[in-house]
Amino acid sequence: MNYKEQTEERCCENPCIDIRGGNNVCLNCGLVFEVHLVENERRAYSNEEIEKRKQTEPRWRDFGSRTVLSTSKMDYKGNYLNAEKKTLFLRLSKIQNSLISGVERNFWEAKPKMKQIVSKLNIPEYIHEIAWKIYTIAAKKKLTMGRSIDGFITASIYVAIRMHEFPKVLEEISDAAMINRKIVIHALSLLVRGILPELNITYKPISAKQLIFKFGNELGLSMDIQKNALKFLSNSLKKGLTSIGKDPKGLAASAIYLAAKSTEEKKTQTELAEIAKITEVTLRTRIKEIRDRIGLNL
């Protein structure tokens, strides 16, 4: 008895087999019979065919040509080309490259890099789409010419993250992209001045209050401590503590330290400095400022 007969025996009394997500599935009981692989593109002419085949057909890029002529010595079957065909395809490859614009070449390099960073940080698809839209406009306006493509990719992702208040800081994104933070900040300033007003996007830097819950969750602190830290920070700001020119990560980490110090969940200054990616000197300075404003004796 083969595998298909065995699965049919375990299926329901009224099997209804159809392709769903690339698999042959019974719609009545949900039993998966076999994987349905499609190696070549399949055309769809109706809404029903589009809905049925959209998960099983190869997806093309949304820019550039579909076929790229290689300058290698072999064809797609792995057979070596003779001298005449090699010369022909080399000339065709040069002609094709001459017809591709600089913006398309930029996209061919930038798209895989952005996808890799987004995948590494586990960023949702809707944020990825907005980041790519911001980057494409920046590339078409030639803001990337003579500048770091990686910097603009990272800056575009960070702007999209800040639009949706996704809990990621700039250091996390620059580390994932393996690029210097100063390069990202320079690209970010160009996007804020030249691209975001055109898209009616308001850029809001991450606040210390948002970082309190981010750092608290990463440290495994209870919600009571996180709320007390938020209360300490809010009271100190109301009593005159200014946040202008101060890193919000330092304010958030110092408020958490003061809230957790007198509890069983207290954390060391070294732990907080590492998770907030700041120095212990900065952390101690912010702790003293908040303590003096709210009058804590800890």
| 138 Rama sector, left if φ>0, alpha if ψ -120 to 50, beta otherwise | alpha
Q: Identify the pLDDT of residue 37.
A: 54
Which range among 42-56, 147-161, 171-185 shows the weakest confidence by mean pLDDT?
42-56
Residue 40 per-residue DSSP state: S
- Higher pLDDT: 110 or 101? It is 110
- Higher pLDDT: 43 or 137? It is 137
CA dihedral 129, 130, 136, 137 (to 10 degrees): 160
Q: Do domains 102-199 and 208-294 have the same CATH topology?
A: yes
Residue whose pair of structure tokens reads 């800056």 in the numeric block: 155
Give residue-wise pLDDT tens across range 235-256.
Answer: 888 888 887 878 889 899 999 9
For residue 144, give Cα distances in angstroms to 110, 129, 153, 170, 197: 11, 19, 10, 20, 18
- CATH number given to 102-199: 1.10.472.10
CA 205 remoteness from chain centre = 17
Residue whose pair of structure tokens reads 């809404």 in the numeric block: 47
- φ and ψ at 83, to 5 degrees? -60, -40
pTM for the structure as a whole: 0.65
Q: Which CATH superfamily is domain 208-294 in?
A: Cyclin-like (1.10.472.10)
Neighbours of 253 (CB within 10 A): 31
Neighbours of 101 (CB within 10 A): 10
Domain boundaries, the chain: 3-53, 102-199, 208-294
Which range among 28-32, 66-70, 132-136, 277-281 shows the weakest confidence by mean pLDDT?
66-70
Mean predicted lDDT score pLDDT of the chain: 81
Measured between alpha carbons, how far is 139 from 109 in angstroms, rounded to an integer?
12
CA 44 remoteness from chain centre = 31
Which range among 21-35, 81-95, 109-123 shows the weakest confidence by mean pLDDT?
21-35
Q: Identify the pLDDT of residue 295.
A: 78
pLDDT mean over 281-289:
90
